[in-house]
Chain A
Amino acid sequence: MADAHVALQEQFDEMPQQKEAATLGMWTFLATEVLFFGAMFLSYIVYRQTYPRAFAEASHHTIVLFGTVNTAILLTSSFTMALAVHAARENNIKWLFRFLAITIAFALAFLAVKGLEYRDDVREHLWPGPHFRPELPPQAQIFWVLYWIMTGVHAIHVTVGVGLLSTMAWMTSRRKFSATYYTPIEMTGLYWHFVDIIWIYLYPLLYLIHRYA
């Protein structure tokens, strides 16, 4: 069982201090992630304000249904992750495990939808290069480069999240957590919500330009 004296590492005096250090460390890591994605968002901003019409035209070829469904899936997975942390706080280990499993299922569903979308994108010749759709302006390839890199790096983060969540579920099944010690669950939650926030911005930027046209 996860007793406080077992979970407390020797460099800390008490559990709240250990948890605060973990929280600050996690937010520091997330700040580096913000800047990592930030460089890509900045490229997007610069090129979109340079080639607004090409970006609108290129964006019309994204599949809004897939993007919208995936946004709903990720928002809901954030919700089930928050409920997992809530269950840990209430010492409800059974539901902690279940909510982690549900979150993993949503994450896999997101990747599956993304895979279907990627297949359609490739079939539609939306991979930049010599076989790119000829009727689109050449600057549309910049949009699609950013689309593949940003959604691709995001999908890698989702995959890492599946690994983290699976580790947490395994540790939960091994009775590593209780209401006295569940910091890893909470830190995994922070990472997962961050991945969700990145997608919250990717969705309108990639899928919703000039949809009324």
Chain B
Amino acid sequence: MHSTNIPRKIYWRVWIALLALLLLTWGLAQINLGPFNNVAALCISITKMLLVVLFFMHGRYEKLLTWIFIAAGLIWFLIMVDLTLSDYLTRGEVRPTNRSWQHLEKNPPALQPNTNAEGPRAAYPARN
């Protein structure tokens, strides 16, 4: 059981900060910041999440063991995103896998009739 009760005014401040951040994220979305629109929206969402976790969910007052449990979900989610995007974001760039481009240019592979739907890439030999 927590020995200290958090002063009520902290909840008021967090609530006002959350609504201010909501207005900020809405306002920034109306302005063209190029790629920073996404960066700003993500940063504001993370800030709002931290405010909720630290104060509303009392994360600030929990001990290390609880924090390991709090972080677990997020860390495994980031691993899932990281491994998936390392595939999707690099498709078409890492083929062919075990030969260099120079080697392929010097020794062009015999082109196969392109019968499947994979497109021109299918002409290159598959990883062996």
Q: Which residues of A contact B (CB under 8 A)?
A: 15-16, 19-20, 23-24, 27-28, 30-35, 38-39, 41-42, 45-46, 49-50, 64, 68, 71-72, 75-76, 78-79, 81-83, 86, 89-90, 186, 189-190, 193, 196-197, 200-201, 203-205, 208, 210-213
Contacts and interface: CB of A to CB of B under 8 A. Distances in A.
Nearest to B63: A20
Contacts of A28: 69, 72
B31 interface: yes
A79 B57 CA distance: 10
Contacts of A83: 8, 11
A27 B58 CA distance: 12
A27 to B, nearest CB: 4
Contact of A75 (B12, B15, B66, B77): B15
Contacts, number: 130
**Chain A interface, >50% SS class:** helix
A35 B62 CA distance: 22
Contacts of A38: 73, 76-77, 80-81
Contacts of A33: 73
Interface residues of B, number: 47
B11 A82 contact: yes
B56 A193 contact: yes
A96 B2 CA distance: 18
B89 interface: yes
Interface string B98-112: 000000000000000
